[in-house]
Structure 1
Amino acid sequence: MSDTNAGPGKVVVNRAMSLDGFIAGPDHAMSWIFEYLDNDAFPDVMPATGAMLVGRGTHEVGKRMVVEDVDDYDGGPVFVLTHRPPAEPERGVTFLSCDLEEAVETARAAAGGKNLEILGADLASQCLRAGLVDEVLVYVIPVLLGDGVRFSTSGLGRIDLEPFENRQSGAVTMLRFRCRRDDPADPTIAP
């Protein structure tokens, strides 16, 4: 792990997932999530969030979605990592076109000691592959979508996780995992 892991806040891949492993349905549809999950389901998650780092594709999908409580968002600043920043700025969004580690570092600094949430399958896979993620938080939604955007991109490789919490709120199950690291200097981490 790089010095990106310094400080009290964690880098957290946060996503809702259908039981068959999709984070979005066909055509990137995500409205099914809001049929089951709202901000009150797990009220401790949002206050622990200080900033979000989002992939460009996920950001574009999010802009097309109609969410009633969008003005109530208080997860800190939003950063979008992209190779092609838009010509016109967007209110409340900072576009980054730097490398992955610098983007995580920038967004993490803006989180002010709280967690940095990573959103988007491709961006999350890149962060996991680079060893920049501390925790994976998954909301399992009781629906089978059959097709769509998978939890991770192909080529991710094996990432070992250590479960440390699971909770239920209504029909939704929240699972939390630590990313395991092979660090011979740390006896608390099993290989």
Structure 2
Amino acid sequence: MGTVIMHSVMSVDGFIADEKDDVGPLHDWYYNGDTPIVEGARFRVSRASAAYVRPMWASIGVIVVGRHLFDLTNGWEGRPPTGDHVVVVSHRPKPEGWHPEASYHFAGDVRSAIATARELAGERVVAVNAGDVGGQVLSAGLVDEVAVDVVPVVFGSGKRFFGAVDGQHLLEDPHVVIQGDRVLHLGYRVRR
């Protein structure tokens, strides 16, 4: 089975967006370099970031997101930003008539979402978006690794990387520490 990685970009003080879902400068590093992440894409990052992001994105089979992010992005119009499938944690079904060709699956809770994602991903990575859903998946003991792209900005308040995670969770020492341009890529395995 593939690894479940909770991932997102965050501010130094632990936020993935402000209270109004504005990400501010958190994604600027995706556009400040000269190396494309994938051919033909508009994302151009530093060479160090590209060496990290390219294999990570290529390894992803399924993305797990909450309904809030799905609604904010309109599900990326039925085209996952990476991977082949998206699993949406939601108590509401897929909008009627919304991109019937898209491989988007809706699950009522995080356990069934991860089970569906693992089945769809096979040996590939399941990437769980940080925030409330990510915190729920971590709290349920279903996250294998935490990957964070830390951007040098302080938000002061907003949507927390770990959402409303239950309890304390120990991580191993970082196995990924890569400095890009205006971003620090970190990876931690969850201690079992």
Matched, 1:144 2:154: yes
Q: Segments of 4+ in structure 1 off by > 6 A? A: none
Could you tell me the TM-score, scaled by structure 2's length? 0.79
Moved more, 51-60 or 132-141: 51-60
8 Å contact from structure 1 (residues 85, 95) kept in 2 = no
| 1:28 counterpart SS class | coil
Shift of 1:165: 1.5
Given that residues 152 and 183 in structure 2 are in contact (C-alpha distance below 8 angstroms), is that contact kept between their aligned partners in structure 1? yes
Partner of 1:12: 5
Q: Given the alignment of the two structures, is residue 23 of structure 1 paired with residue 16 of structure 2, yes or no?
A: yes
Shift of 1:44: 1.6
Q: Determine if contact 2:132/2:164 at 8 Å carries over to the other structure.
A: no
Where do residues 98-117 of structure 1 align in structure 2 (5 Å cutoff)? Answer: 98-117=108-127
Asked if residue 123 in structure 1 is aligned to residue 119 in structure 2, the reply is no
Q: 1:175 aligns with which of 161, 164, 186?
A: 186
**Cα pair 2:149 2:184 within 8 Å, conserved:** yes
After TM superposition, the score normalised by the length of structure 1 is 0.80
Q: Choose the corresponding residue for 1:56, options 51, 67, 87.
A: 67
Deviation at 1:16, TM superposition (A): 0.4
CA RMSD of aligned residues (A): 2.4
**What per-residue deviation string (whole Å, max 9, x for no partner) do you get for residues 30-79 of structure 1?**
2522212354532221001111011111222233989xxx9683422111
* More deviation, 11-20/94-103: 94-103
Q: Which amino acid aligns with 2:10?
A: M
Q: 5+ residue gaps in structure 2?
A: 32-36, 38-44
8 Å contact from structure 1 (residues 82, 95) kept in 2: no
Q: Which runs of 5+ in 1 are unaligned?
A: 1-6, 182-191
1-structure distance, mates of 2:136, 2:166? 8
Specify whether residues 82 and 160 from structure 1 end up closer, same or farther in structure 2 by C-alpha distance, changes over 3 A only. Answer: same
> 1:14 offset after TM fit, Å?
0.7
SS of the residue corresponding to residue 16 of structure 1 reads strand
1:133 to 139, 143, 147: 143
Identity %: 32
The total of aligned residue pairs comes to 171
Q: What displacement does 1:85 show?
A: 1.5
1:151 Cα offset (Å): 1.4
Q: Partners in 1 of 2:156 and 2:88 — Cα distance?
A: 29
